[in-house]
Amino acid sequence: MSDKEAKKLEKQQTMRHSMAHVMAGAVLKMFPDAKIAIGPAIENGFYYDFDLPRSITPDDLAVIEESMKEIIKARSGFERSVVSKEEARALFADQPYKLELIEELPDSEEISVYQMGDFKDLCRGPHVEDTSRLNPQSFKLLKTAGAYWRGDEKRPMLQRIYGTAFSNPKDLKMHLDHLEEMEKRDHRKLGKELDLFSLHEEAGPGLVYWHPKGARIRIAIEDFWRNEHYKNGYEMVFTPHVGKSWLWETSGHLGFYNESMFQPMEMDKSDYYAKPMNCPFHIMIYNNGKHSYRELPFRWAELGTVYRYEKSGTLHGLMRVRGFTQDDAHIICTPDQVEDEILEVLRFSLFMLRSFGFEDISAYLSTMPEKSVGDKKDWDLATESLRKAIEKEGLEYGVDEGGGAFYGPKIDLKVKDTMGREWQLSTVQFDFNLSERFDMVFVDKDGKEKRPFMIHRALLGSIERFFGVLVENFGGAFPVWLCPVQAMVIPVSAKFDDYAKEVEKSFRAAGIRVETDFSDERMNAKIRNAQNQKIPYMIVVGENEMNEKAVSIRVRTGEQKNGLPMNDAVQMILDKIELKELP
């Protein structure tokens, strides 16, 4: 970010923070007994938390907005004054949350108070000089929400009011349009409209049902995924969905992961658990025999479906579910193979993400935390390999020092979608814990048993979540290779049904996913239906086409190609599929 941009952002954040004060002032006018908590500027806006005698309704928001406009028009200044702790206590005697904050302020720090009209607030600042710097036309209160005091679920629940604010009405409008567009692209909405998947509360929240069209897309993803894995030196494995408690005791999951696991089912006096991870199973395969250094590395991949108990309030469409399929793999290798393996994994990962149209990718490296298992020496080797790989690939990256899991360092890859949102997809993680717990060994050149490195990685993360991200990224208008229906044949009238069948047959024989609309709708309606289903190619056939053994194509984009020889049309679509392009 340039200095100029940083400065602009800072100015904007100051404006938003002042906006939060104006809102708090308006709320206090409405509820003189309100207890105020904190109100910072956030991305795109601001919020303020209140303890109120009753809950805020959407109607209240409109009233508060009007009241804010009046406060702004009154043109009051933001007067800063510095007070002693004692004075601060007196000033905010009837504001318990503020008092708590005052008590926690270190003595070294100056305590400042900002007075804006009747409203005074304990605040570090800075603020705009006076409210004439705020534009009453370029903010909007968006929603209310519950929020715990200091994010702690044991503390009181406050009411938070979110607002958005920009320096001018045009930017505000752009942001509101952006929000609207995101709503349109919501994968839950599109999932329904395009008949891709469903969730059923009565059959178990957080468990996904893939409809035929969604399954088509998923299989396209998975087929590509498997093929590329074979090309990249992986083998596929399949492992069970449940395992006895021995397995989870050995792995340690019953100790540190118990809360996230489904309750056990008892059978033959043993407890079986649905798997929350695939790793122990892959290790069972490894430990089934003795392995020489000559065999390594092993790269074992599995689209492994795991079950995790997520709190009901955190479930969200496909993004956060209780049963999902990881595109998992474990690489088991010798210490001197680590560097190459990591580089290859990273390359592969970038290749996969780019294949799905994600170009804006950044990396995050998480290093050794205070509490960890494994040798410092191994951590260093692993961490350095990760760092080298990122640098070699020329990725932008951030480092989370001490942010790794206790069992190993990791890289996470984040992609930015077309809406500018970041999603964490790939993760490459070392595991010094499981190799130890399961006593994994290989026989080295010197005949001695040594501990291999185990690397856990997922490229897409989970198929469910990745699918959700794809739906939102493309707004349901997928690249041709992913479309459940790639071409819809539309006979102009029933007279041409036979020719339509012939066309459909040719397209299908070429490997294109094609359907024909034989309904007794008019052609206009058929086009509309196909367009709403975001089908990339509408193959219109009527008298002209039949006579010339040709087709006319209406592309989803609105582009029109008339009288194409059938073979040319087929080839054009095959090319788009091959190149993984949008139509």
Q: Which of 84, 132, 560, 571 binds RNA (CB under 7 A)?
A: 560
- Spell out the SS3 assignment of 155-212: CCEEEEEEEEECCCHHHHHHHHHHHHHHHHHCHHHHHHHCCCEEECHHHCCCCEEECH
Looking only at residues 20 through 39 of this chain, which bind RNA when binding is defined by CB under 7 A? 38-39
Nearer to RNA, 102 or 382 (CB): 102
Question: Least separation, in Å, of the C-beta of 255 and RNA?
Answer: 21
Q: Is the peptide bond before 297 cis (omega within 30 degrees of 0)?
A: yes
- Residue located via tokens 């100015």: 11
Is 360 one of the catalytic residues?
no
CA angle 410–411–412, rounded 5-degree value:
120
> Closest approach of Cβ 62 to RNA, in Å?
14
Among 81, 146, 351, 575, binds RNA (CB under 7 A): 146
Phi, psi of 457 (to 5 degrees): -145, 145
Q: Is 308 a catalytic residue?
A: yes
Q: What is the dihedral of CA 252, 258, 262, 266, to 10 degrees?
A: 70
Select from 32, 289, 313, 394 the one that contacts RNA (CB under 7 A): 313
Q: Does the protein bind RNA through residue 571 (CB under 7 A)? A: no
Is 330 annotated as catalytic? yes
Which of 34, 63, 99, 105 touches RNA by CB under 7 A? 105
Q: Which of 120, 160, 213, 279 is catalytic?
A: 279
Considering the complex, state which of residue 145 and residue 219 has its C-beta at the smaller distance from RNA. Answer: 145
Give every CB contact of residue 328 below 8 A, 6+ residues apart in sequence: 278, 301, 302, 303, 304, 456, 457, 458
Residues 272-311 touching RNA, rule: CB under 7 A, are 311
Backbone angles phi, psi at 409, to 5 degrees: -75, 165
| 456 catalytic residue (yes or no) | yes
Tell whether residue 524 is a contact of RNA (CB under 7 A). Answer: yes
Q: Which of residues 147-166 bind RNA (CB under 7 A)?
A: 147-148, 150-153, 157, 159-160
Task: Tell me: does residue 342 bind RNA (CB under 7 A).
Answer: no
CB-wise, 110 or 370, nearer to RNA?
110
Q: Name the minimum Å distance from CB 462 to RNA.
A: 17
Q: Is 179 in the site for RNA (CB under 7 A)?
A: no
Q: Which of residues 503-522 bind RNA (CB under 7 A)?
A: 519-522
Least separation in angstroms between CB 480 and RNA: 17
The rounded Cα 191 to chain-centroid distance in angstroms is 16
State how far the Cα of 350 lies from the Cα of 310, in Å rounded to an integer: 29
Q: By C-beta, is 229 or 322 nearer to RNA?
A: 322
Q: Which amino acid is at 500?
A: A
469 binds RNA (CB under 7 A): no
42-61: contacts with RNA (CB under 7 A): 42-43, 55-57
Q: Which stretch binds RNA (CB under 7 A): 70-78, 126-134, 142-150, 458-466?
A: 142-150
Q: Give which of 430, 455, 229, 220 is closest to 348, Cα–Cα.
A: 229
Q: How far is the CB of 113 from RNA (least distance, A)?
A: 7
Q: Is 481 exposed, middle or buried (0-12, 13-18, 19+ CB in 10 A)?
A: buried
Task: Supply the minimum distance, in Å, between the C-beta of residue 200 and RNA.
Answer: 9
40 binds RNA (CB under 7 A): yes
Report if residue 62 touches RNA, rule: CB under 7 A: no
Beta carbon of residue 470, minimum distance to RNA (angstroms, whole number): 18
Q: Which residues contact 190 (CB under 8 A, 6 or more apart)?
A: 196, 471, 472, 475, 476
326 is catalytic: yes
Catalytic residue among 21, 308, 322, 556: 308
The residue assigned the tokens 């609309």 is: 517
Q: Are β-strands 45-51 and 157-165 bridged in parallel, bridged antiparallel, or unpaired?
A: antiparallel
CB of 126 or CB of 335, closer to RNA = 126
Any idea what the Cα angle at residue 509 is, between residues 503 and 514, rounded to 5°?
60
Q: Is 544 in the site for RNA (CB under 7 A)?
A: yes
Tokens of 176: 């509101």
Contacts of 240 (CB under 8 A, 6+ apart): 275, 281
Three-state DSSP class for residue 53: coil
Segment lying near RNA (by CB under 7 A), choices 211-219, 429-437, 443-451, 542-550: 542-550
| Binding flag, residue 101, RNA (CB under 7 A) | yes
Residue the block writes with tokens 């794809």: 470
CB of 91 to RNA, least distance (A): 10
Q: Are 257 and 276 in contact (CB under 8 A)?
A: yes
Residue of 216, 229, 253, 410 with catalytic role: 410
Catalytic residues: 279, 308, 326, 328, 330, 410, 456
